A and B are shown apart, each in its own frame.
Chain A
Amino acid sequence: MTFIPKPKVAHPSLPKNALGLTRRDYEGALSTLCAGCGHDSITAAIIEACWGISARPENVVKLSGIGCSSKTTAYFVSGGHGFNSVHGRMPSIAMGANAANRDLYYVGVSGDGDSLSIGLGQFCHAIRRNLNMLYLIENNGVYGLTKGQFSASADIGTKAKKGEVNQQPPIDPVLLAMNLGAGFVARSFSGDKAQLVPLIQAGLKYPGFAVIDVLSPCVTFNDHEGSTKSYAYTREHFEPVVQADFVPFQREITADYGAGQAMPVVLHDGSRILLRKLAEDYDPTDAGRAYGYVQEHIAKGEVLTGLLHLRPTDQSEFHALNRTPEQPLNQLPYAKLSPGSKALEKVLARYR
């Protein structure tokens, strides 16, 4: 539970980031999830990612709905505000929070139940508004907290722990997000930290809606033989097609990425996402073709991972479209907000 204290002592030689903070400074309360839960690996990846980009902890806003995944916002960056809202409605909280202060990092953590069933509408509309946030779906195909019901991401033919076979088609968040026009759509696996950390970093920096569908096996209710969201099944069918590396603007591109295949995408603050194609016939910047490619592979039972779609320039972010000021709305002085008594007199003239 979150009231279990962690030891405060940190080793003096722990590496420090540009703010002089160690990874320990990005940790949160102790996880109360089952031992071996994929979600905990994702939490670790978020901690690593935030430390790596030297985000100020107080500038990280953690938002979630209800479910196992939604509990995890308590387990990282304790120096940032968290908001565990109601089931499926995190995107609207994120929208309001982001409208009030555009300067912070908004990390939404959701699950397949929270995002694809009860919250499907809000998920879709957050994409439509191109809300600047990182939206992580910790996808395990199952309702954990209520003990093992299928979720809307469960594949046809997958077997529940008690033996029931799912016959309804899944909703795939990656295809859905691409279809709705999201500019940053990725899929990853909780067991592949090397792929996940740079994806999270790139998603945090991306100036628009960034979604990462992270397959995250449920060790208690969906890790058995016959499940298509188990560790074993995911490892077997996991196929990275594009590697994204994130390069903070302070750092030079290292020789590793210089070999012609890497395509740098420069973000607004000068940082870069380097896309390395691992499949020859795949172009992640072409939304239509990326959609077809991912869909074809799903039909073949393959789980493509990586930054599957990236719109290199994004002009439609919420604040850009709404022409709000650079200064966050919650910091505008009242003098700038009140039209004053003279203006009121003019307004009233219309009603005489």
Chain B
Amino acid sequence: MSPASRVNDFAIKIATVNGTGSASANTLLMKSIFRSGIPVMGKNYFPSNIQGLPTWYEIRISRDGYVARSGQIDIMVAMNAETYGRDVREVTPGGYLIYDSTWPRPTLLRRDDITVLGVPLARLCNENFKGVRTRILMKNICYAGALAALLDLDLEKIRELLAETYAKKPALVESNMQAIQLGYDYAKQNFPCPLPLRVEKMDQTSGHIMIDGNTAAGLGAVYAGATVAGWYPITPSTSLMDAFKSFADRLRVDPETGRKNFAFIQAEDELAAIGMVLGASWNGARAFTATSGPGISLMGEFLGLAYYAEIPAVVFDVQRVGPSTGMPTRTQQCDLLAAAYASHGDTKHVCLYPANPEECFYMAVQAFDLAERLQTPVLVMLDLDIGMNDWMCRDLRWDDAYQPDRGKVYTKADLEKMEKFHRYFDRDQDGIPYRTFPGVHPKGAYFTRGSGHSQYGTYTEDSVEYQIVLDRLLRKFATAKELVPKPVIDRDPKTEVAIVSIGSCDGAIREARDLLRSQGIATNYLRIRGFPFGEEVEQFLAEHRVLYVVEQNRDAQLKSLLTLETRVEKAQLRSLLHYSGLPVSSSFIVDGILADLAEGRRAVVGAVK
């Protein structure tokens, strides 16, 4: 590829040590590119640790608006001696390596196919700043300055961002700007700036924001009218609850009384967190929790109760790498089965699969409507990549005409007119009964239980009475098929190869399809957004002979779910499985499909990059 064509189309990876302030420097870089109108992706690969372990940040500048990893690293900023070896090796041939030249570079790790640029970052900062901590922090800001010169970033945008960040501490704006300038000037004086890989102003980001999915989902819960949040801290879901609280603290306080129109309860564990959600939902409040895989395991018993006793609940599962504690700060889609069938006995749960933060916002609202309409738990399946990374999204919009769907609830007036209320009776023949809230009317009182119950709400050990309720729950689940978000389908009848996927794979798949098309391979695409699967999913599967199921786990959980819950033939489905803990890249999908097509259509399993 000629250097000219790399304007606004390359990837930078920055290797640092966590706890040294590199996050601010990286966000600064990413945001200044975004503000120059250029589509950008920022992904954080961080350790489960507070200070001292290796951490990486990947920035992809994509004039075509691709939001996933490309699979290439064009510029490496190697700031961490501990990972220097692997960082050097990761640079794509023809790329650049920037390192701190205050100390000599290990010569063993020479590469002749990349350009090495040394900037004496530590020396520059030691000469200009006082105090150990300041020098360490400024060293990171300093590489941002060097990159600004090398990539031709707009220094004014950087100053503007610093001024916003440190609005209350103007002295910090100046010192940070000084560090930027040190790096900038050094690069200008010593290297041919800008590099062929550089940025150029565009106008592709207006009407867009950079936001992470946890923030968007927390904001969605505020707009949905959630009033009770019960939760237990767990990476990577904690920031969703933090976001809810911080938005609610600003947007949900009564202007006259100063009272908070919400209850935010940190529980003693995930069992209590989901218990609180069920207690509040049962009592007529919109309630939710956020957790990750280990929390879903702990919530299992209560989720089964909620399913059987028909209590609404909204659970955000921000998936992380398992099994067990796994790698808590890395991403995977590995709770698909655990969530769909959480709990003992015959249970199935409604699941939503957002692909990006924008969908997190809207699906958060939808989840509450569905939970109350269907009187059952709804699990919103984010993952760490969506939840914790900043994604470029279209502006979130809100329709002020929205009213929550509280589902079938008998009011005091309804109950007064009624001879007798039967909690689990299928009056409307859609599998969904009517419920009542405590404190409304004695006629609405009933006994909620996880033990066997009849359609009239009474205790039972009678086979027929038990089965009437259990079979109705299946009818309700069939009703849910029509209510969950429809899949996104891109289909050309002439093409018989298709990709089926879910959630955060979407960005990589969009790019992969373009790349495959440029090689003459057209693909159709089904992105599933809800479980249970509806007729549109069935139809798409039936219409394709070869379906590549792309997902981020080892055991092909989405494929399993499709074979269990649709009419698809197992042989139609080929798995492309990415489970390294990093977000899937477009090249992984392209390579996988090309290899499979070349190798006589054998399943492509496990080729992890």
Contact = CB atoms under 8 A, between A and B. Distances in A.
A117 to B, nearest CB: 14
B275 A95 contact: yes
Nearest to B465: A3
A328 to B, nearest CB: 8
Interface residues of B, number: 74
Contact of B399 (A101, A319, A341): A341
A10 interface: no
B228 A100 contact: yes
A104 B445 CA distance: 14
B280 A89 contact: no
Interface in A83-99: 83-86, 89, 91-99
Contacts of B460: 3
A28 to B, nearest CB: 9
Contacts of A99: 228, 263, 265, 276, 279-280, 285
Interface stretch (A55-63, A159-167, A197-205, A237-245): A55-63
A82 B450 CA distance: 12
A330 B260 CA distance: 13
A348 B261 contact: no
Contact of B438 (A2, A58, A351): A58
Contacts of B396: 344, 348
A285 to B, nearest CB: 29
Given A82-B447, A84-B451, A340-B400, A100 B439 contact: no
B35 A92 contact: no
A332 interface: yes
A330 to B, nearest CB: 4
A348 B395 contact: yes
A258 interface: no
Interface in B13-59: 35
Contacts of B403: 334
**Which of A63, A83, A101, A340: most chain B CB closer than 10 A?**
A83
Interface string B221-261: 01101011010000000000000000100011010011111
Interface in A52-92: 56-59, 61, 63, 73-74, 78-86, 89, 91-92
A325 B261 CA distance: 6
A322 B260 contact: yes
B445 A92 contact: no
B440 interface: yes
A255 interface: no
A84 B450 contact: yes
A324 interface: yes
A147 interface: no
**Which of A94, A100, A124, A339: most chain B CB closer than 10 A?**
A100
Given A1-B459, A340-B400, A325 B259 contact: yes
B223 A344 contact: yes
Given A92-B271, A100-B285, A323-B259, A343 B279 contact: no
A300 interface: no
**Which of B222, B301, B398: most chain A CB closer than 10 A?**
B398
A95 B279 contact: yes
B278 interface: yes
B477 to A, nearest CB: 22
Contacts of B271: 89, 92, 122
A125 B270 CA distance: 13
A26 B157 CA distance: 71
A99 B229 CA distance: 10
Given A78-B445, A337-B252, A330 B437 contact: yes
A78 B211 CA distance: 50
Contacts of A336: 254, 261
Contacts of B267: 92, 125
Interface string A307-346: 0000000000011001111100110101011111101100
B154 interface: no
Interface string B198-228: 0000000000011100010001001101011
B441 to A, nearest CB: 6
Contacts of B451: 84
A95 B230 contact: yes
8 contacts: A80-B445, A92-B273, A99-B263, A99-B280, A100-B287, A104-B439, A122-B272, A124-B268
Given A85-B305, A121-B269, 15 more contacts: A58-B442, A61-B438, A81-B447, A86-B305, A92-B275, A95-B265, A96-B282, A97-B438, A100-B284, A104-B439, A325-B261, A338-B225, A339-B251, A341-B398, A347-B219
Interface of B: 35, 209-211, 215, 219, 222-223, 225, 227-228, 230, 247, 251-252, 254, 257-265, 267-269, 271-285, 287, 301-302, 305, 395-400, 402-404, 436-442, 444-451, 458-460
Give 5 closest A-B pairs by Cβ, nearest first: A96-B279, A92-B275, A79-B442, A100-B285, A96-B276
